[in-house]
Structure 1
């Protein structure tokens, strides 16, 4: 699985450094609006990314000033297209984006982070334990049978800057229930990717493929590629269909 460009780990030291206002970006006023009574946890999460995350190579140095607007608030904006109480699998989670911001903004969601590299998994588990949030981490690649067995039948599979859309859809489809949705955070080329890969998504059983632009206050816009799994390829190339429960 291809990885996030700036969001992967390296080293085995744990606790974040003491908060240093010169190196950690100050929380914008929107933090309380987006995260509510979990705003303090979101601030601690950014502290992790700006200190231990930078030291271990999960975040590039140039990303430190943009952690809030480009990464954390940007990720949390996807919450507007996830229904109450849904199970969400974040594939190629890296530094926990978008899964951890979604969990902080929407504690009703059942979040699982899927990440193949051990040191990144350790980092995620440290953050989750420190923040005291109910998020599961599964080590592996989304396409592995063991991961599909463990986290499959999800309502939503999400990701952020993991791979080209067709490949990402191929990893997402086996993890979704029929009627579940891929909600992929993409860059400015989202519409072009949908146009380019629409036939591949259709072959995988995805329908209603479209782009939504969402935003959180004090954050960059987020482009979501949303697609519903209407059917999946069954044995011998046949289509299998289902009527998975729809929420909303």
Structure 2
């Protein structure tokens, strides 16, 4: 890989960057080195290319990488996952590392972000990752996913409108949400009914390993 694109130095040893939590090795198992290399990319090229703000480095692992990776327990090896608005590969790349048999399609519209995702996926040799430059609305009839994931993309009503058309029968939307998820569920009530989705199931993940557990809303096509 071109040296201008390579993570420089060892950001895990640089001041201001969160040290790797003990939970990381448990979550990623034998593939922890890939997660470390992804962290290096986020801390260097991710910041340089404008995909992650430098103020996020003190919580790089807990707020970003592990916050996403704990969702891996909701996936099956047979799933085809569309990571909508993948951006800095969150949650798609941590999920691809944690679940090497699950296929991940990183959907991103912005060219610069797509180039970064391609660079990182190639460097990590993630054979279960495919990157598509498009808006999810453009993928109707072109892609079908068993699961759509999203993090910090849009409100729940918009995600339902965007993602349901690319979900197969019994497909699921898994949306990482913050403390206001109950309000979002209420605002999405009409969309849930219109798109014939099951009532949202709320998952609290990583309670034993993360200071702030991850909240995931699961909606399934009926």
Aligned residue number for residue 43 of structure 1: 36
**Is the aligned partner of 1:202 residue 2:202?**
no
Partner of 1:30: 23
Where does residue 175 of structure 1 map in the other structure? 166
Task: For residue 206 of structure 1, give the secondary structure of its aligned residue in structure 2.
Answer: coil
Q: Match for residue 137 of structure 1? A: 131
Quote the offset at 1:26 in angstroms.
2.4
Shift of 1:228: 0.5
Which segment is superposed worse, 167-176 or 202-211? 202-211
Aligned residue in 2 for 1:163 = 154
The gaps in structure 2 that reach 5 residues or longer are none
Report matched runs for 1:111-122 at 5 Å.
111-122=104-115
2:98 to 92, 105, 125: 105
Aligned residues: 215
TM-score (norm: length of structure 2): 0.92
Displacement of 1:138 in angstroms is 0.2
The DSSP-based 3-state class of the residue aligned with 1:34 is helix
TM superposition outliers: structure 1 runs of 4+ over 4 Å: none
Higher relative contact order (CA 8 A, sep 6+): 1
Q: 2:111, 2:105 → 1: CA distance?
A: 16
Aligned-pair Cα RMSD in Å: 1.4
Q: Is the CA contact 1:42–1:104 (under 8 Å) kept in the aligned structure 2?
A: yes
| TM-fit CA distance, 1:219 | 5.2
**How far, CA to CA, are the matches of 1:22 and 1:32 in structure 2?**
20
Unpaired segments ≥5 residues, structure 1: 1-12, 231-248
Q: 2: distance between equivalents of 1:65 and 1:75?
A: 16
- Normalised by the length of structure 1, the TM-score is 0.83
CA apart distance, 1:126: 0.4
CA contact (8 A) 2:192 2:199 kept: no
